[in-house]
């Protein structure tokens, strides 16, 4: 990978993570993930955000790309840390061994966090909203604090000459980047793929901080950016409004009402609960509502979070297991609660052989996690569901879908491209 010219005096360096890495140690990366770093060249050179240091090949790749554009480590005057998390700052250990000249620029909390990771002796500079650094040749970096876009120390950097907002996690997405790295270099299909991965990234990493992300989007809008250059995923140079609007849509789902979509999460031990899924899906789609179906534990919760985040309704179908819920379902519910999948319309379907108990555990988790889900009356069946039960399931799923249509805040689902992950298909109509 070589350094890429983005706009006048603005370059992007990058390292891709691939599927052998779990993002944050837990989220799968089937399409990879890019870690973008930016170089702004005036008379002085600034690097804005960087790459992780867990693999020494990452900083080495950054230095090679820097050399490829006619600079080297000794030329770097400033390193701007928009966000101190080590996926963007891990390389600093190696950089600080190579040069003492560099000044590390961050918010007050950013400096505090950076000191804890990279030592107190480096040359730090604290900046606040409105502070600037003039690099010469018209290149001025202006800093704008946007706290709690993931961590509390976050800010964005606005480069005044190009109108680029270097936004770090904000407006980011999973998905590795190749030669095409800007939206104006990609097909609609490629962009759709990155939008899928933006949703998964958002729901996995940023969802918990949605109110802060919403405030940060408004702050960035006031800058009227010509370019949005995040630290993960594509650079939005042709149409920066597109990613800002998509992210605004994501943040609005924190209230519960979202797209006219029902996420169906199910687990089965011997096929009896599985038999309930087809009538449930038929009930949902008979109302023109999209059903996205995930089987647990076969599907990683990363994907379930993505569809649950954009859904107005959730259906859970699982057997009882030792007086409680099927354990993989309980684990997924805990994660949905942690990630603020709240205020959803919901319906539970349970099967059992000799004892109930799943409902009690469900209520305990929903209450403890303050999820505020509003449930239709559950349907429980013993052993093999008969025709009457299957008909009831279809009708109740249709009932939920009707309520979802009324409550959804978007008239239609966004045209994300990912199919249902357990092969049962999805789609409205």
Residues in touch with ligand FEO (CB under 6 A): 83, 85, 87-88, 150, 169, 231-232
CB of 94 to ligand FEO, least distance (A): 18
CB of 7 to ligand FEO, least distance (A): 22
Which of residues 173 and 273 has its CB atom nearest to ligand FEO in the complex? 173
Distance, in Å, from the CA atom of 319 to the CA atom of 268, rounded to the nearest integer, reads: 6
Strand order in the sheet with 155-159: 132-136, 139-145, 155-159, 164-168, 227-230
Which of residues 169 and 196 has its CB atom nearest to ligand FEO in the complex? 169
Which of residues 41 and 88 has its CB atom nearest to ligand FEO in the complex? 88
Q: Are 109 and 153 in contact (CB under 8 A)?
A: yes
CB of 132 to ligand FEO, least distance (A): 25
CB of 44 to ligand FEO, least distance (A): 26
Which of residues 171 and 373 has its CB atom nearest to ligand FEO in the complex? 171
Q: Classify burial at 379, counting beta carbons within 10 Å of its beta carbon; exposed 0-12, middle 13-18, buried 19 or more.
A: buried
Which of residues 169 and 259 has its CB atom nearest to ligand FEO in the complex? 169
Which of residues 211 and 425 has its CB atom nearest to ligand FEO in the complex? 211
CB of 34 to ligand FEO, least distance (A): 10
Q: Give CA 82 to chain center in angstroms.
A: 18
Biggest CA–CA distance in the chain, Å, is 77
CB of 233 to ligand FEO, least distance (A): 10
Q: Are 303 and 294 in contact (CB under 8 A)?
A: yes
Q: Which residue has the tokens 């702004």?
A: 40
Q: Are 216 and 145 in contact (CB under 8 A)?
A: no
Q: In Å, what is the CA distance from 221 to each residue of 77, 158, 205, 323, 343?
A: 29, 12, 22, 52, 28
């Amino acid at each position: 990978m070589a350094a890429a010219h983005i706009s006048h005096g603005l370059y992007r360096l990058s390292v891709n993570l691939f599927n052998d890495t779990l993002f944050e140690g837990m989220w799968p990366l089937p399409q990879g993930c890019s870690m973008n770093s930016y170089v702004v060249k005036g008379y002085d050179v600034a690097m804005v955000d960087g790459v992780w240091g867990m693999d020494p090949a990452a900083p080495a790749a950054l230095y090679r790309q820097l050399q490829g554009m006619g600079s080297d480590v000794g030329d770097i005057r400033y390193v701007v840390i928009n966000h101190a998390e080590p996926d963007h700052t891990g390389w600093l250990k190696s950089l600080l061994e190579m040069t003492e000249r560099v000044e590390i620029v961050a918010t007050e909390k950013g400096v505090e966090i950076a000191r804890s990771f990279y030592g107190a002796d480096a040359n730090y500079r604290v900046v606040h909203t409105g502070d600037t650094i003039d690099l010469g040749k018209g290149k001025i970096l202006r800093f704008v604090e946007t706290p709690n876009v993931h961590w509390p120390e976050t800010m964005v950097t606005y480069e005044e000459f190009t109108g680029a907002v270097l936004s770090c996690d904000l407006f980011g997405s999973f998905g590795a980047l190749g030669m095409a790295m800007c939206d104006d270099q990609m097909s609609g299909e490629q962009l759709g793929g990155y939008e899928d991965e933006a949703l998964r990234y958002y729901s996995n990493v940023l969802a918990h901080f949605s109110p802060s992300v919403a405030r940060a989007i408004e702050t960035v809008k006031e800058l009227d950016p010509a370019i949005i250059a995040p630290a993960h995923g594509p650079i939005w140079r042709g149409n920066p409004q597109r990613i800002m609007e998509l992210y605004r849509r994501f943040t609005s789902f924190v209230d519960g009402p979202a797209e006219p979509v029902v996420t169906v999460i199910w687990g089965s031990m011997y096929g009896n609960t599985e038999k309930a899924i087809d009538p449930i899906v038929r009930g949902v789609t008979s109302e023109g509502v999209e059903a996205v179906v995930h089987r647990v534990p076969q599907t990683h919760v990363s994907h379930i979070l993505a569809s649950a985040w954009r859904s107005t309704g959730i259906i859970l179908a699982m057997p009882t297991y030792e007086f409680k819920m099927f354990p993989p379902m309980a684990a997924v519910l805990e994660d949905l609660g942690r990630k603020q999948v709240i205020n959803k319309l919901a319906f539970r379907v349970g099967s059992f052989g000799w004892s109930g108990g799943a409902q009690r555990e469900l209520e305990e988790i929903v209450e403890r996690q303050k999820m505020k889900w509003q449930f239709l009356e559950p349907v429980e069946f013993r052993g093999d569901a008969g025709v009457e039960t299957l008909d009831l399931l279809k009708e109740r799923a249709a009932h939920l879908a009707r309520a979802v249509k009324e409550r959804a805040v978007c008239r239609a689902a966004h045209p994300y491209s990912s199919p249902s992950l357990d092969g049962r298909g999805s789609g409205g109509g």
